[in-house]
Amino acid sequence: MKLKRILLKLSGEALEGKQGYGIDPDRLLDYAEEIKSAASGGVQIAIVIGGGNIFRGLQGTRYGVDRVQGDYMGMLATVINSMALQDALEKTGLKVKHLGGIAIDPICGRMSRKQAICYLEEGYVVLISGGTGNPYFTTDSASALRAVEIKADAILKGTRVDGVYTADPEKDKKAKKYDTLSFDEAYQKNLKIMDLTAFTLCKENNLPIIVFNMNQKGNLLKIIQGKKTGTIVQK
């Protein structure tokens, strides 16, 4: 699959690295270098990153935080992670623009489809924080929405495992990896690739999802180069 424009989805927890909380500077630098390597291949890159390493809206409800209030707190966590990644990317020499589902002057402007596409075509990496800007939607849903908006060729979901398995490979050593899946197969097998809202949006817009191990050096570039790694979900 030839990719000219991608939406890279990263989890906030991935930034914890070995610390188990917050932002690990070594992991941040590793990701920045991987993204720079991929960008050198000529692909246009937009990035959505979660905020679970700082605060997750649903988590807050367990402690009595109002769901809507908690979701907005989670959105702000994604802004913090995006700011950290922006700084790391710029230190590698990449040009970066930061847009958000929530505009926060002077940190990030309001997400605009036309503006994001314009930045991508000008050679910027575009970070899109703040989820959809609305409560009750995950960053999975936000990444699917933004990918459709910018007309991405695929969503690349970076995880800590090398694809989609029949079961959790970290818990079940007999779990088998899928190289390819259709959206219908993934749904019927109840494979937790993305939340249902995000998954449906990808299916309806014929937007492939590639699940891969972001922590394995060189994997992102391999995908950009059309080499097989991870699992691809498509029609």
Could you read off the pLDDT of 39-52 as tens digits, one per residue?
Answer: 998 999 999 999 99
Q: How far is CA 147 from the centre of its chain?
A: 10
Residues of the chain with pLDDT under 70: none
Domains and CATH numbers, the chain: 5-160 (3.40.1160.10)
| Closest to 40 in 3D by CA, of 219, 226, 227, 224 | 224
Residue 149, phi then psi, degrees to nearest 5: -60, -45
- pLDDT recorded at residue 170: 83
- pLDDT recorded at residue 84: 97
- pLDDT recorded at residue 61: 80
- pLDDT recorded at residue 105: 94
- pLDDT recorded at residue 164: 95
